[in-house]
């Protein structure tokens, strides 16, 4: 008998001949099927054979028993996804989209790096200008001392000799000498303008914030009181010490307090400047806040730029110098507005005893 035929006999003496090839019409097979076989009496019977067994690709197999547990018919289906079935278009679109995303992210990172590099270069240039300005001022003060002293001496001598007619040649000589010294002073100024020398690093030591602010309050409180401004101090971390240069830090705090006082000059409400010191992690923070009108939004990003000022008589060097001094102590300074009013400046310095 054909292996595709199978007799089904009932105890009531009736029988039924089944032909496996006729169980499912060929038109009813799903188009996604490639190979289908039915095991009858442990012999596989091919029902569908559309793909060779050695086709190259990803093979998917499915096996399912049909019929009763005592007499199962094992149905097996296989399909090989050859390169012709692979979603090349979707993969290509995904690859292009991924490439564009990666290229865009890389370009964005490069743009950010370039912008950050330009900002740092501008910052270094500004610091160089400030350093040069300080060196220039110190050099001018030192170098001009001698010619100016000589000019004063010569002009004083000339004034005394004018009363004596016989001393007129000496007066003429003294005036000529004064003129030469004036020319020398002008030459010194011209030379100092081109002078650029790196500044020495700031000396760092553990500082007592209470003593530091006590000295500041002793100097500033009388003048602030005459303006109706109250100056307060709160040490939130007693025992903590910042690392820095005392003179540089005093200069920063004096500048910030003066700026706060200027901001409170036109304030009708309470006039209060608060200084707070506290340790946060490996840093020590000095926070100077006021109850003034705050900082304009367009001025906030350029606040520490050299020669930028919002005051008619300002030179734009105070906050820039504070930023330079903080950087020389491995610290930084930041500004923000408070809600509902006021401004806040935070000076962050390394903390003594913190892990390096």
Pair of tokens at residue 42: 């442990």
List pLDDT tens digits, range 23-67. 667 677 777 777 777 776 677 777 777 777 777 777 778 787 776
pLDDT of residue 284: 95
Q: How far apart are CA 23 and CA 4, in angstroms?
A: 10
Greatest Cα pair distance, the chain, in angstroms, is: 167
List pLDDT tens digits, range 313-332. 666 667 887 888 888 889 99
**Domains located in the chain, CATH noted:** 5-81 (no CATH), 90-193 (1.10.287), 205-350 (3.30.565.10)
**Three-state secondary structure of 27-87:** HHCCCCCCEEEEEECCEEEEEEECCCCCCCCEEEEEEEEECCCCCCEEEEEEEEECCCCCC
Pair of tokens at residue 29: 């097979």
Lowest-pLDDT range of 184-198, 202-216, 283-297: 184-198
283 membership: H or E segment, kind and range: strand 283-290
pTM as predicted: 0.48
Helices H, strands E: what count in the chain?
A: 5, 13
C-alpha angle with apex 42: 36 to 45, nearest 5 degrees?
30
pLDDT of residue 196: 39
List pLDDT tens digits, range 239-296. 899 999 887 888 889 889 988 998 888 788 889 999 999 999 899 999 999 998 888 8
Omega of the bond leading into 340 within 30 degrees of 0 (cis): yes
Cα 186 to Cα 81, 173, 191, 220, 243: the distances in Å are: 90, 20, 9, 38, 42
Q: CB neighbours of 110 closer than 8 A, spacing ≥ 6?
A: none
């Amino acid at each position: 008998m054909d292996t595709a035929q199978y007799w089904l006999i009932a105890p009531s003496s009736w029988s039924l001949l089944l032909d496996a090839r006729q169980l499912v019409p060929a038109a009813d097979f799903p188009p996604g099927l490639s190979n289908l076989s039915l095991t009858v009496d442990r012999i596989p019977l091919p029902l569908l054979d559309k793909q060779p067994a050695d086709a190259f690709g990803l093979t998917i197999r499915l096996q399912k028993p049909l019929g009763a547990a005592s007499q199962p018919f094992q149905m097996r289906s296989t399909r090989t996804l050859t390169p012709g079935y692979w979603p090349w278009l979707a993969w290509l679109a995904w690859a292009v989209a991924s490439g564009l995303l990666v290229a865009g992210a890389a370009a964005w990172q490069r743009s950010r790096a370039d912008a950050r590099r330009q900002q740092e270069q501008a910052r270094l240039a500004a610091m160089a200008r400030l350093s040069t300005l300080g060196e220039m001022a110190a050099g001018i003060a030192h170098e001009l001392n001698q010619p100016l002293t000589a000019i004063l001496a010569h002009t004083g001598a000339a004034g005394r000799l004018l009363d004596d007619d016989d001393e007129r040649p000496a007066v003429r000589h003294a005036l000529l000498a004064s003129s030469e010294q004036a020319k020398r002073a002008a030459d010194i100024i011209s030379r100092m303008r081109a002078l650029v020398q790196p500044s020495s690093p700031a000396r760092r030591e553990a500082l007592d914030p209470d003593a530091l602010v006590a000295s500041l309050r002793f100097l500033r409180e009388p003048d602030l009181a005459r303006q109706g401004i109250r100056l307060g101090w709160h040490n939130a971390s007693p025992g903590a010490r910042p690392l820095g240069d005392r003179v540089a830090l005093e200069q920063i705090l004096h500048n910030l307090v003066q700026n706060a006082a200027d901001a409170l000059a036109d304030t009708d409400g309470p006039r209060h400047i608060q200084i707070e010191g506290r340790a946060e992690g490996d840093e020590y923070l000095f926070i100077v806040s006021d109850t003034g009108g705050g900082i304009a939004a367009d001025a906030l990003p350029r606040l520490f730029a050299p020669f930028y000022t919002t005051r008619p008589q300002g030179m734009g060097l105070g906050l820039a110098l504070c930023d330079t001094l903080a950087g020389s102590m491995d610290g930084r300074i930041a500004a923000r507005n408070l809600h509902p009013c006021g401004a806040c400046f935070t000076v962050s310095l390394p903390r003594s005893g913190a892990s390096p």
